[in-house]
Structure 1
Amino acid sequence: MSNYVIDQLKFVRRQAVNYVESISDSAAEIIPTGLKNNIKWNLGHMYVIHEKFAFQLAGEETKYPANFNKLFDPGTKPSDWNIEPPTMSELIDLLTEQIERVELLLSSKLSEEINPHYKSSTGLTFTKVEQLLGFLIYHEAMHFATIKNIKSITFQLN
């Protein structure tokens, strides 16, 4: 069942995945001067936040690969990593599979209330699944813009 929120979420995810497909692992791990994260971190962070907002808060099963929270939770950064991050190929596969799960599991539950209601760190309160997914459109787009910025800086350096 098609819905504008899911369609927009799929659109922004597809744009991000298409944009990073040709970026090498080494380029995706460059942290430009003045920034604290790299392209891999932004992609992994998109995945982790999606699991929380699209699945955990909606009462669905989550699929966090090993160590993803240690690598990509809010407040983490690659300079603190002491474990090997996933490859770009792995991240792209996970991000692609994740958005398919969103459509499969949540497209018929958009108007369902979440319990308990969730209040974000910025004071925004979510009461329905559709609101959680609407927030993810913003979150995905923000990190996609960051990825584009990092890529433009990184490729100017090389």
Structure 2
Amino acid sequence: MDILYKQFEIARNGLLRELNNADEGEVDVQPEGFNNNIHWHAGHVLTVAEQFLFGFPDNSSHLPQDYKELFGNGSSPANWPANVPSVQELTEQLQQQLERMKQIPREKFDEKLAQPFLGAETFGELAAVAVIHETNHAGRINSMKKAVNK
């Protein structure tokens, strides 16, 4: 399963590169045709990876409980309160999460899920789904940056 650790690293570093290369003025702009903004995507990837890999919110205390409402599926920056974590804070949490991802024991990847989820039947397959999810959102961030700067 060394390939999964490498995929975690490649996908996360690509996402972090996109976020680090985003101008402060563009992260909260919601371009026409997009449902969210770059800021939301940063928190969404963090939150979903925490849900998939660490059982957030029930089994993980690495993120604040309100992240599920702020960044989970179906959430929107249009409904955010005034005190949302900054992209810088989310970026730091994404970096910390990557280190935790690389510490997942190899044998964990062979564990069967209680029930299949998004086509995944083992924890390792779910981890692969998390990587795919992350790269999908990195691509959306890249597209949004282009749309904002048109």
User: Normalised by the size of structure 1, how large is the TM-score?
Assistant: 0.84
Q: Which amino acid aligns with 2:135?
A: A
Q: Distance in 2 between matches of 1:84 and 1:24?
A: 20
Aligned match of 1:145: 139
Q: Distance in 2 between matches of 1:97 and 1:52?
A: 15
Matches within 5 A, 1:79-90: 79-90=78-89
Q: Which amino acid aligns with 2:63?
A: Y
Alpha-carbon RMSD: 2.0
User: Normalised by the size of structure 2, how large is the TM-score?
Assistant: 0.88
Number of residue-to-residue matches in the alignment: 149
Deviations 1:108-150 (A, max 9, x none): 4211223x22434xxx2x3321111110111011101100000
User: What is the SS of the residue equivalent to 1:70?
Assistant: helix
Q: Distance in 2 between matches of 1:102 and 1:81?
A: 28
Q: Which amino acid aligns with 2:93?
A: L
Identity rate, percent: 23
Deviations 1:51-84 (A, max 9, x none): 1111118x96352224211110101111111232
Aligned match of 1:30: 29
Aligned match of 2:100: 101
Matches within 5 A, 1:1-158: 3-56=2-55, 61-114=60-113, 116-120=114-118, 124=119, 126-156=120-150
User: What is the SS of the residue equivalent to 1:34?
Assistant: coil
**Contact 2:111-2:122 within 8 A present in 1 as well:** yes
Deviates more, 1:146-155 or 1:59-68: 59-68
**Do the aligned partners of residues 118 and 87 (structure 1) sit closer, same or farther apart at CA in structure 2, a change above 3 Å counting?**
same
User: Structure 2: any 5+ residue segments left out of the alignment?
Assistant: none
